[in-house]
C-alpha cells in the first residue's frame, strides 16, 4: 500500500499560519505535513489550524500533494477534535506524534475505524505515519511499524528523542546513528517506508547534503523537511538517477527475455540477475513512474 505514495519529502507547515500555507502550495514537496501540534501555539490556534486545513482542502488548494496533518497526541485533549474534523475527502492520512508502543497506533487505528464507519468511508481509507520520537519508540519501532495495516511509513523525530535521552547532538551526528539505523531496519522489515529526521539548520545546505548521503546509506527513502529550499537536494538524493533507471530497465528486459527463452537465470554484463535484483529494479521503475506522474499532474494544473 505504501508504494502508492511518493514520500521523498514531507514538509512541515504550521497550519494556523496562512502565509506559510500559501507558500507550501507553491512548493515541490511530495507531502504537506500540516501541523496541528508543536508549532501551533497558543492552544487557541489549533482550531484555527483545523479550519484552515478544511478550507484549503475543500477549495482544492492541495490537489498536487499528499496531505497528512500531524495531529496532537492522545494525552493532549485535542486528538479527537483533530481526527473527527479532518477525516475528509482530500486528506490521505495522519502523522501520529510521540508513539511509544504499538498500543498507541492500535488505539489510533481503532479511533479512525470508528470515525470511518460513522462517516461512511471505507475502513482503512486514512493512513498513518507514526513519528518515532522517544527511546521507547526506537526500541519498539518494529512493533509500531506493524501495529496497523494503515501504517505506510515511520519517521524519526530527533529533537524529541535527544530530549528524551538527555542527549546532545554532535557535529558528526554519531549519537543519532544507532536510532536512525534501527528505524530504517524496522521500517524495511515491515515493508514500509523509512523517513529520516529533519535537518535543523535549514540554511546550511552543505551539511544537509552530508546528512542525505548518510541517510541514503542507512536505507532511508525520504526526509522530513522544514523549508522549501531543502527540497531540491532531498529530491535529488531520493529519486532514481537516469543511470539507475536505465540499468533497471535493462535488468527487467534481460529477465523477461530469460523467461521467454526458458533460461533459468538471466545474465547481464557477466552478472547473474536473481530475484532480489529484479525486485529492486521494479521498485526503481515504479518510483520513477510515480515521480513522472506527479510532475505531469503539477504541470497540467499550472496551465
31-78 pLDDT, tens digit per residue, is: 999 999 888 888 889 999 999 999 999 999 999 899 999 999 888 889
Top CATH class, 2-237: alpha beta
Integer Cα distance of 232 and 215 in angstroms: 16
The more confident residue out of 293 and 129 is 129
Instruction: Using the structure block, give the residue that is written with the C-alpha cell 490556534.
Output: 45
Domain spans of the chain? 2-237, 242-302
Grid coordinates belonging to 143? 512493533
Span 99-154, pLDDT tens digits? 999 999 999 999 999 999 999 999 999 999 999 999 999 999 999 999 999 999 99
Consecutive H or E run containing 251: helix 242-260
- The pLDDT value given to residue 3: 56
The chain-wide mean pLDDT, for the chain, equals 91
CA angle (30, 38, 143) in 5-degree steps: 70
Span 257-282, pLDDT tens digits? 887 776 666 777 767 777 888 888 98
Integer Cα distance of 147 and 233 in angstroms: 32
Q: Is the pTM of this model over 0.75?
A: yes
Total count of residues recorded for the chain: 303
Average pLDDT on 179-204 reads: 95
Coil, helix or strand at residue 207: helix
Residue pair 193/224 in contact by the 8 Å Cβ criterion: no
Grid coordinates belonging to 138? 526506537
Can you give the C-alpha Rg of the chain in angstroms? 20
Amino acid at each position: 500500500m505504501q508504494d502508492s505514495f511518493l514520500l521523498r519529502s514531507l514538509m512541515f507547515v504550521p497550519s494556523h499560519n496562512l502565509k506559510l500555507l500559501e507558500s507550501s502550495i507553491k512548493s515541490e514537496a511530495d507531502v504537506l505535513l500540516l501541523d496541528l501540534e508543536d508549532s501551533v501555539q497558543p492552544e487557541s490556534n489549533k482550531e484555527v489550524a483545523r479550519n484552515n486545513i478544511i478550507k484549503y482542502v475543500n477549495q482544492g488548494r492541495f490537489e498536487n500533494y499528499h496531505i497528512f496533518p500531524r495531529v496532537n497526541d492522545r494525552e493532549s485533549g485535542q486528538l479527537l477534535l483533530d481526527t473527527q474534523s479532518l477525516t475528509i475527502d482530500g486528506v490521505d492520512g495522519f502523522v501520529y506524534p510521540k508513539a511509544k508502543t504499538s498500543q498507541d497506533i492500535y488505539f489510533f487505528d481503532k479511533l479512525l475505524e470508528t470515525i470511518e464507519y460513522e462517516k461512511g468511508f471505507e475502513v482503512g481509507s486514512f493512513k498513518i505515519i507514526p513519528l518515532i520520537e522517544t527511546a521507547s519508540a526506537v526500541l519498539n519501532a518494529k512493533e509500531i511499524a506493524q501495529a496497523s495495516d494503515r501504517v505506510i511509513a515511520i519517521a524519526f523525530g530527533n529533537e524529541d528523542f535527544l530530549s528524551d535521552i538527555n542527549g546532545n547532538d554532535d557535529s558528526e551526528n554519531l549519537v543519532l546513528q544507532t536510532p536512525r539505523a534501527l528505524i530504517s531496519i524496522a521500517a524495511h522489515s515491515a515493508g514500509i517506508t523509512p523517513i529520516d529526521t529533519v535537518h535543523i539548520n535549514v540554511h546550511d545546505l552543505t551539511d544537509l547534503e552530508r546528512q542525505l548521503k548518510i541517510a541514503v546509506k542507512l536505507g532511508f527513502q525520504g526526509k522530513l523537511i522544514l523549508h522549501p529550499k531543502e527540497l531540491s537536494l532531498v529530491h535529488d538524493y531520493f529519486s532514481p538517477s537516469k543511470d539507475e533507471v536505465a540499468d533497471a530497465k535493462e535488468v527487467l528486459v534481460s529477465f523477461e527475455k530469460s523467461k521467454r527463452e526458458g533460461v533459468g537465470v538471466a545474465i547481464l554484463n557477466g552478472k547473474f540477475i536473481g530475484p532480489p535484483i529484479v525486485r529492486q529494479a521494479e521498485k526503481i521503475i515504479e518510483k520513477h513512474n510515480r515521480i513522472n506522474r506527479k510532475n505531469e499532474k503539477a504541470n497540467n494544473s499550472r496551465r
